[in-house]
Structure 1
Amino acid sequence: MAFAQLPVELIDAICQRGQPTDLVALSRTCSSIYPVAQRHLYRHLSISTASRNLRAVVTLARRPELAQNVRTFSLRAECATVFRPFLRLVGMALSRMTELVSLDLFVDPDASWILSEARCTYTRLSRFSCSLVFDSHVVEFLGKTEALLELQVDGASISHNALPVPALPARSIPHLSQFVGSSHVACAIVPGRPVESIHLPLGDLTAEDVTVLANSTSHVLIFGATATSSPLPILESLSQHMSSLIYLRLMTTFDFLEVPQPSFYERIAKALSSLADLEGFELGGLHWVNAQKNLQDQQPVWQSQPFAGEIIGAEDLDLDSDLFYVY
């Protein structure tokens, strides 16, 4: 039996496992196979300046029937290599990708206007990651993504933090469970939504921000953030308002004028001991461990050993030690 005479379902299953080059070859064999191969060829697209395949955006903008096949779309274009007409084509192509499930959009942070080209709703989009500044264009776009679960936004420089954060309607992204971005944008998005995972690599987290983020309608289980102030007030606020945390990571650029006193570590351990479900904690790159002796202990005992302040010289090394042998 000729390949073209196989049942459409079987051809579709074969195309699912085909590489792009194979799908291109299949699409050229006969007219009956062409639509099946094309559908899979454009299903998962990764476009970047480095890959030199930006022309695919032009094709998608001009051929809506192909854009409708796209399920995952990733675009990474350096600001210096693309111009406004190209970005306009990106917006046009996005407006035709009505069946998107995942979208990565890393372009000029100030090019959020390309999202305003979309006149449709994205009922299947569950993941959206971008480098765009959180503004009215992004807010309008999020209003069309009711199934969104994961969001990364506001990847621009810290200078944008001075801009006012637009209000996000309560009905937008009602199922959001993961957020990545800056602390000031998180405070506008997380409250009132079932966010369980929060990662804030940008911005300056404060104890007051923690009280706002704790207004998630679901228990926050994973939390990571960057701060410039002393971590103690933040940790104490976290222990009070996010008692269900399982993993906590806090990076701080706070300049300690001297080596912290033992009381500093004791206060950290006390704050952590109230987090009964906590399994992992990291502060400034230093991991803390639960030194609970046995299951009968009422509270976990969190400990961290500071780095040694002196370097062991070569003359002090015991080369006969078992540490220098691999068994």
Structure 2
Amino acid sequence: MSAVGVRLASAAAYLAVRCDVNNTPRDHTEFSQPVTRHPEMRAEFTQLPIELLDAIVSETNPHDLLALCQTTHKLYNVCLRRIYQRVSLHTPVCAVQLFKTLISNQPAAAYVKSLVIDSDFSATSLLSKAFMRLMQKAMLNLNFLQSLDCPDSPDLFSVLAPIHFPCLKDCLVPLCADVVAFLSRHTTLEQVDVWESAAPVPPAVASISLPALRKIQGTANVVSALVQGSLVNVITIIWPAGDDCLNTLAAIDRAKAPLREVQNLVRRWDPALLLAFAGHLRHLRDSHLGFCGLTHLGFFNLSVVASADGVIEAFYEILGTVIVNLPHLLDLTCIWDTTEVRPTRAAFSLEFGFVRAWGALCTTLRFCTLVSNTMWVRELCGLPWFAREMNGDRIGSRLRSLWQTEIVVGAPTEFPVHANMLEEALGKEEWQALIRAGPGAISSELDLLLSL
């Protein structure tokens, strides 16, 4: 075995041994300085390159990292970076210990790249003013923080809001009075998620310039404020009930780059939203910005809507007027939280007819995920649009397979490629017998599955 192999084997053997409970530090402050408690490993680790040490440490659980910190100064720095790279606040007691370490140990604070404030921690109502002051003092040392996740607590976010994190790239924050000032001072942001919260919502959000921004998720007024003049190409819009969407759509078209993806989360479905989309897009065919380069479009109806006769069909009719004005669309998703989620033969037939029509309107369209929880894939298995079960359910997959076989048996000349595939799979005699029997030969099993 080579010298490097011997050192690797020694390191691996060491990592296989768990630390004794009595030697495990109880909090972040107990390993502020390295102590060589394992002299037999000192020479082995000293000779390993930093890259290899980092690879070893990346595969080590936190329990072992605490012990490795006490092996050599070289390994101490590698482990410290891994331990503090992503920190989470779960309970006030652990948070206080962490804050004290970040205040007293500058190298540890410099290693923090991601801060997550747990939702259970955010719900704690016993956080004192002294705790808030300690938290703010610790957060001031996070000069290299890149990611902040604090969506559920406007009170805790108010502690962070006055602080400038010079390296911050993405944040998940609550919609509250402090959010505008916080976002405005962080021009390094590339991704912003602003979640709805119980805090009073600002009546209006002034335009904010974030030149590095590429991805936004937030309410319509937040999106309008952030998107203008930016290079954003991925947007998720949370539409409140009764919102006037025309101003938001116009703001999106004032972005400096073409959009790639727009997802719409609708609190209460209103056909007026889709009609506004269609009307707005109709005037943009000659533009190279805004919606015209869109490749991914989604509508997620979050309200519970009964699938009454004609409601979904009317929705699909309007959707066609949107698709015809999106010449680069690749992927379309339309999911409804309906009271009737069980797919039916009629639902499959309805969607199949519409996706075929949409495919003729938009030649780039390849994937459609629709209300029946079916993903329609273009030109697969000899069908113009092939139906796939979205949830991985075996019964659902069998259901769609039988339905597709039924329509091919009913019109084999319309789907010759798939008909030939079925003939090859079944054998010529059985296929001819199935053709003579007609779709009714499959309907009984299909009806049985639909009744489950």
Same fold (TM over 0.5): yes
CA 1:294–1:114 in 2, change beyond 3 Å: closer, same or farther? closer
2:245 to 182, 202, 207: 207
- For residue 253 of structure 1, report the CA deviation from its aligned partner: 4.1
CA distance in 2: counterparts of 1:115 and 1:26, whole angstroms = 33
- For residue 259 of structure 1, report the CA deviation from its aligned partner: 4.5
1:176 to 185, 205, 213: 213
CA distance in 1: counterparts of 2:73 and 2:370, whole angstroms = 67
CA distance in 2: counterparts of 1:238 and 1:133, whole angstroms = 25
Q: Does 1:273 align with 2:324?
A: yes
Q: Does 1:196 align with 2:233?
A: yes
One-letter amino acid of the counterpart of residue 116, structure 2: S
Q: Does 1:222 align with 2:266?
A: no
- For residue 151 of structure 1, report the CA deviation from its aligned partner: 0.7
CA distance in 2: counterparts of 1:193 and 1:17, whole angstroms = 39
> Matched residue pairs, number?
304
- For residue 59 of structure 1, report the CA deviation from its aligned partner: 2.4
**Local SS of the residue matching 2:200:** helix
> What's the CA shift string for 1:245-276, capped at 9, x where partnerless?
32221426497997446656423333333333
CA RMSD of aligned residues (A): 3.8
One-letter amino acid of the counterpart of residue 266, structure 2: T
Partner of 2:180: 139
Asked which structure has the greater RCO (Cα within 8 Å, sep 6+), the reply is 1
TM-score (norm 1): 0.75
CA distance in 2: counterparts of 1:305 and 1:254, whole angstroms = 13
**Local SS of the residue matching 2:171:** strand
Partner of 2:60: 18
Q: Conserved in 2, the CA contact under 8 Å of 1:211 and 1:237?
A: no
Q: Does 1:104 align with 2:145?
A: no
CA distance in 2: counterparts of 1:237 and 1:68, whole angstroms = 48
TM-score (norm 2): 0.57
- For residue 7 of structure 1, report the CA deviation from its aligned partner: 4.3
Partner of 2:25: none
Question: Greater CA radius of gyration, 1 or 2?
Answer: 2
One-letter amino acid of the counterpart of residue 147, structure 1: T
Q: Does 1:247 align with 2:291?
A: no
One-letter amino acid of the counterpart of residue 170, structure 2: R
Q: Conserved in 2, the CA contact under 8 Å of 1:115 and 1:138?
A: no
- For residue 64 of structure 1, report the CA deviation from its aligned partner: 2.8
- For residue 166 of structure 1, report the CA deviation from its aligned partner: 4.4
One-letter amino acid of the counterpart of residue 244, structure 2: T
- For residue 4 of structure 1, report the CA deviation from its aligned partner: 4.1
CA distance in 2: counterparts of 1:305 and 1:129, whole angstroms = 29
Deviates more, 1:148-157 or 1:259-268: 259-268
- For residue 174 of structure 1, report the CA deviation from its aligned partner: 0.9
CA distance in 2: counterparts of 1:252 and 1:196, whole angstroms = 24
CA 1:222–1:101 in 2, change beyond 3 Å: closer, same or farther? same
One-letter amino acid of the counterpart of residue 203, structure 1: P
- Structure 1 residues without counterparts, runs of 5 or longer: 308-317
CA 1:69–1:103 in 2, change beyond 3 Å: closer, same or farther? same
Q: Does 1:185 align with 2:222?
A: yes
Deviates more, 1:259-268 or 1:234-243: 259-268
CA distance in 2: counterparts of 1:85 and 1:228, whole angstroms = 42
**Local SS of the residue matching 2:333:** strand
CA distance in 2: counterparts of 1:223 and 1:285, whole angstroms = 16
Partner of 2:190: 149
- For residue 152 of structure 1, report the CA deviation from its aligned partner: 0.9
One-letter amino acid of the counterpart of residue 282, structure 1: C
One-letter amino acid of the counterpart of residue 133, structure 2: R
One-letter amino acid of the counterpart of residue 217, structure 1: K
CA 1:293–1:250 in 2, change beyond 3 Å: closer, same or farther? closer
CA distance in 2: counterparts of 1:65 and 1:215, whole angstroms = 43
1:282 to 330, 334, 337: 334
CA distance in 2: counterparts of 1:257 and 1:27, whole angstroms = 60
- Structure 2 residues without counterparts, runs of 5 or longer: 1-6, 8-42, 282-290, 339-346, 374-441
- Report the structure, 1 or 2, having the larger helix content: 2
> What's the CA shift string for 1:1-41, capped at 9, x where partnerless?
72342245243443233221111001122444323322221
**Local SS of the residue matching 1:280:** strand
Q: Conserved in 2, the CA contact under 8 Å of 1:179 and 1:198?
A: yes
Q: Conserved in 2, the CA contact under 8 Å of 1:227 and 1:254?
A: no
Q: Does 1:164 align with 2:203?
A: yes
CA 1:305–1:90 in 2, change beyond 3 Å: closer, same or farther? closer
> What's the CA shift string for 1:217-267, capped at 9, x where partnerless?
222322222143622x32233233434332221426497997446656423
CA 1:23–1:185 in 2, change beyond 3 Å: closer, same or farther? same
Partner of 1:321: 445
CA distance in 1: counterparts of 2:186 and 2:263, whole angstroms = 24
CA distance in 2: counterparts of 1:285 and 1:142, whole angstroms = 33
CA 1:303–1:283 in 2, change beyond 3 Å: closer, same or farther? closer
